[in-house]
């Protein structure tokens, strides 16, 4: 899945080996509500938009990729068998020896971009060059890649479906979509807010006894649950394949941002990690949460309201944590995207983003060529729309 300023596109490998490509208008690209772009508010908007588009992308994939597992497994086996030869034949790419090294100033990109707000579930990429537009030569490169793509790896032709933002939702249904989103949000609240709070209460005692220690232990447990959750779901075959597509998106984004033609050979040799991945955003959310929860005067509220010991006090702590999440998301966005993106050479930026970079080893896997073809197809569709609207 790739997202631009005006539209987003999803490319899905179909059971017959072709690529189904669906494009949607992006409501936020045309409806510019000024207050939605205020500091702090824009981070919440980006997170909610990422969540909604993520579920829509998964819906599209579920409807069109059924039965593709066997075909992709066969393709993966073939790719592994000829991997060494393909690496030798790769042309016009960045040296493979540099695969896991980054130039922070070069690779960070534009500070206004918000990439993959929910990296643990799927990827949402903002297609944009380092200075806000396509990098020098990227338009010609994309056009050249588009001409070369039909013969690339004998890929099957794309079936393209363009969908307006005002068009009713597809077969999946609005109710099913809402149910899936609500279930996902509730599961996230239980795993990453309720469970750590309950365990911390058992280990440390009542919140007002030692708020600083309570919040630190709660934050450490939250990160531990998050890491274990990613590691656990990464053992599942379907999720492993999804993380391979995540890696394909990152490689394709790198290829575009470096101004190279969008070909499998060029994209293959770029790193699967990306500094603007939403995984870094989520890690920052968890770090900022510890600070916000510690500063917030919850003890004063507990004393003023006379909240009794035990379950009522714990319930209030959990409720306050949920209510503060929009504030935490907004602060995290300002740090991860706005500030860090404007200061890529600052040593502190590298320290701040380092945990998120390391977490991507859990949320991305090395893709095969078929997955790179899908990522390139989605990218080309978004770039074409951006150029036509310019």
Planar angle of CA 133, 280, 112, nearest 5 degrees: 25
Tell me how far apart the terminal alpha carbons of the chain are, to the nearest angstrom.
22
Encode pLDDT of 353-366 as tens digits: 899 999 999 999 99
Highest-confidence range of 24-28, 181-185, 269-273, by mean pLDDT? 269-273
Calpha distance 259→249 (Å, rounded) = 16
> Average pLDDT, stretch 253-274?
95
Q: Considering only 42-51, 61-70, 103-112, 244-253, which range has the smallest mean pLDDT? A: 103-112
The overall average pLDDT reported for the chain is 78
- Cα 45 to Cα 41: distance, rounded to the nearest angstrom: 6
Crossing angle, helix 237-257 and helix 69-81, to 10 degrees?
60
C-alpha 51 chain-centroid distance: 10
Contacts for 47 with CB less than 8 Å, ≥ 6 apart = 117, 118, 329, 333
- pLDDT-derived band of residue 62, with 50, 70 and 90 as boundaries? confident
Q: What is the pLDDT of residue 344?
A: 72
Q: Distance between CA atoms of 247 and 125, rounded to whole angstroms?
A: 12
Residue 157's pLDDT band (cuts 50, 70, 90): low
Answer for the pair 28, 114: CB distance below 8 angstroms, yes or no: no
Q: How far apart are CA 365 and CA 260, in angstroms?
A: 22
- C-alpha distances out from residue 36 to 21, 27, 40, 263, Å: 30, 13, 9, 37
What integer pLDDT is reported at residue 320 of this predicted model? 97
Q: Which two tokens stand for residue 57?
A: 């992308």
What distance in Å separates the CA atoms of residue 188 and residue 194, rounded to the nearest whole number? 9
Q: How far is CA 104 from CA 138, 163, 201, 350, in A?
A: 20, 36, 41, 8
Two structure tokens written together for 324:
């503060």
Residue 79: pLDDT band by 50, 70, 90 thresholds? low
Partner residues linked to 24 by β-bridges: 8, 163
Whose CA is closest to 74, among 241, 215, 293?
241
Q: Rounded to an integer, what distance in angstroms lies between the CA atom of residue 254 and that of residue 277?
A: 12
| Residues 87-106, mean pLDDT to the nearest whole number | 47
The rounded Cα 357 to chain-centroid distance in angstroms is 12
Give SS3 for 23.
strand
Q: What is residue 78's predicted lDDT score, i.e. its pLDDT?
A: 57
Question: The tokens of 384 are what?
Answer: 């074409």
* Sheet with 7-13: strands ordered across: 2-3, 7-13, 19-25, 158-163
What pTM does this model have? 0.75
Distance CA 298, CA 293 (A): 8
Cα 184 to the center of its chain, rounded Å = 16
Distance CA 25, CA 155 (A): 26
Beta bridge partners of 126: 3
The answer on pLDDT for 196 being more than 90 is: yes
- β-strand 19-25 against 158-163: which pairing, if any? parallel
Alpha helices in the chain (DSSP H): 27-30, 41-64, 69-81, 83-89, 104-108, 138-148, 174-189, 195-204, 211-233, 237-257, 264-268, 278-295, 298-305, 311-323, 325-333, 340-342, 347-363, 369-389
More confident residue, 82 or 267: 267
Band (23; pLDDT cuts 50, 70, 90): very high
The partner residues of 21 in beta bridges, in order of sequence, read 11, 160
Give the Cβ contact number of residue 335 at 10 Å: 20
């Amino acid at each position: 899945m790739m997202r631009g300023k005006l539209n987003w596109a999803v490319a899905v490998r179909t059971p017959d080996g072709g690529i189904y490509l669906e494009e949607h208008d992006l409501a936020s690209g045309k409806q510019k509500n000024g207050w939605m772009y205020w500091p702090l508010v824009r981070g919440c908007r980006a997170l909610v938009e990422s969540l909604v588009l993520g579920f829509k992308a998964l819906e599209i994939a579920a409807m069109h990729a059924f039965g593709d597992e066997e075909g992709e497994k066969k393709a993966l086996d073939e790719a592994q068998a000829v991997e060494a030869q393909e690496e030798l034949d790769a042309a016009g790419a960045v040296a493979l020896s540099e695969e896991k090294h980054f130039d922070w100033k070069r690779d960070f990109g534009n500070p206004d971009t918000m990439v993959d707000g929910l990296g643990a579930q799927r990827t949402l990429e903002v297609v944009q060059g380092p200075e806000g537009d396509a990098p020098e030569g990227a338009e010609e490169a994309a056009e050249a890649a588009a001409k070369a793509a039909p013969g690339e790896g004998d890929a099957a032709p794309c079936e393209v479906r363009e969908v307006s933002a005002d068009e009713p939702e597809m077969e999946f249904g609005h109710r099913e979509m809402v149910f899936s989103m609500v279930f996902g949000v509730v599961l996230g609240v239980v795993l990453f807010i309720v469970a750590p709070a309950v365990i911390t209460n058992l280990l440390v005692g009542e919140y007002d006894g030692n708020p600083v220690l309570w919040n630190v232990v709660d934050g450490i447990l939250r990160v531990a649950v998050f890491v274990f959750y990613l590691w656990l779901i990464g053992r599942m075959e379907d999720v492993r394949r999804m993380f391979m597509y995540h890696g394909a998106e990152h490689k394709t984004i790198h290829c575009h941002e470096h101004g190279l033609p969008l070909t499998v050979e060029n994209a293959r040799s770029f790193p699967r990690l990306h500094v603007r991945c939403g995984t870094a955003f989520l890690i920052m959310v968890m770090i900022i949460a510890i600070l916000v929860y510690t500063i917030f005067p919850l003890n004063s509220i507990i004393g003023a309201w006379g909240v009794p010991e035990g379950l009522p006090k714990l319930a209030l702590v959990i409720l306050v944590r949920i209510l503060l999440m929009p504030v935490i998301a907004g602060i995290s966005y300002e740090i991860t995207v706005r500030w860090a993106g404007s200061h890529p050479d600052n040593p502190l930026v590298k320290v701040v983003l380092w945990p998120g970079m390391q977490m991507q080893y859990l949320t991305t896997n090395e893709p095969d060529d078929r997955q790179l073809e899908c990522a390139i197809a989605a990218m080309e569709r978004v770039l074409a729309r951006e150029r036509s609207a310019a």
